[in-house]
Amino acid sequence: SHLVTWMKEQVAMAAVSMPKDEWLSFEPDALARKILLDADEYSERARVRGGLLHDAMEQYAVDGSLPENPETLNLMGPALDWWDSNVEKVYYTEETFVGDGYAGRVDLVALLKNGKIYIVDFKTRKRGNPTTKAEKAIGCGKFGKYIEDVYQLAAYRGAVNAEGIGVGGCANLLIDSSNPTPVEFREYGWKELDRMYCAWCFKVADWSLSKDYRPDVPEESVGLVSELIGMAYDRYDLVA
């Protein structure tokens, strides 16, 4: 799984970062414990670094201010280049939108220079190791792909659309939290977003039933969910 892979990476980084003389100074069991402790410290530093970078991007979207931390500013460089080349007008930053039975805080709703309004969710991550010839030439691999990313954006789109905003696209802006490598603007197709929004509606309904949470739901919302369920059965050949 992605989690197991990530845990292995943290342990490996802690191990290779340890000086040779330290390796020789520990008994095997003590060395293993030392590596695990260092892995925890390494992952905590990475988490903090990614959090600072994410917060800095949000603040830049609000008022154009830059972070004082030089490491964070350096890592932001490629994202700032993308911003200047693509963002035409900011409508919302860190705004909470309410859907049917749920709410979510959206990083950015903006008009891009392609003429479409996008929901953009910032993701700070470490790139994978380069594997192809092209990746090795630039010294970095790809960002990981997680189903939760598109799931989250599908729910955001449902909530933002409920406010009457004509969303033209949904994307993650993937920012390297370890090195100032080029960002990736990862846009998702409507079919994939529709499928995930259907799944999200089922999830919200299941949670509501399990918690006996039954708010007053507008008739148009009931109709929308019913329509989405019908779409899911028709599009994906499901059988009732």
The tokens 């949470």 sit on which residue? 213
> Is residue 171's pLDDT more than 90?
yes
Quote the pLDDT of residue 21: 62
- The model's confidence at residue 44, banded by pLDDT at 50, 70 and 90, is very low
Coil vs helix vs strand at 238: coil
Quote the pLDDT of residue 143: 87
Give residues with Cβ within 8 angstroms of 42, minimum separation 6.
10, 13, 14, 17
- The model's confidence at residue 175, banded by pLDDT at 50, 70 and 90, is very high
The mean per-residue pLDDT over the stretch 44-63 comes to 77
| Beta strand segments in 31-138, E | 87-98, 103-112, 117-125
The CA distances from residue 12 to 3, 136, 177, in Å, are: 14, 20, 18
> Is residue 38's pLDDT more than 70?
no
- Most confidently modeled of 101-105, 200-204, 219-223? 101-105
Quote the pLDDT of residue 230: 58
Distance in angstroms (rounded) separating the CA atoms of residues 60 and 120? 14
- The model's confidence at residue 52, banded by pLDDT at 50, 70 and 90, is confident
Give 214-240 pLDDT, tens digit per residue.
Answer: 555 445 444 555 555 555 555 545 444
- The model's confidence at residue 117, banded by pLDDT at 50, 70 and 90, is very high
Neighbour tally for 110: CB within 10 Å: 20
DSSP per-residue string spanning 24-46 = HHS-HHHHHHHHHHHHHHHHHHH
Please name the amino acid found at residue 156. Y
Q: Report which of residues 6 and 187 the model is more confident about.
A: 187
Q: Give the phi and the psi of residue 6 in degrees, each rounded to 5.
A: -60, -45
43 touches 14 (CB < 8 A): no
> Is residue 176's pLDDT more than 60?
yes
Q: Report which of residues 30 and 99 the model is more confident about.
A: 99
Quote the pLDDT of residue 223: 53
First-to-last CA distance in the chain? 31
Q: Pick from 81, 122, 89, 124: which is nearest to 105 by CA?
A: 122
169 touches 113 (CB < 8 A): no
Cα 46 versus chain centre, distance: 16
Mean pLDDT of the chain: 77
Give 57-89 pLDDT, tens digit per residue.
Answer: 989 998 899 998 898 999 999 999 999 999 999
Quote the pLDDT of residue 65: 92
| Beta strand segments in the chain, E | 87-98, 103-112, 117-125, 169-176, 184-187
| Both structure tokens of 179 | 């090195």
- Most confidently modeled of 43-47, 126-130, 210-214? 126-130
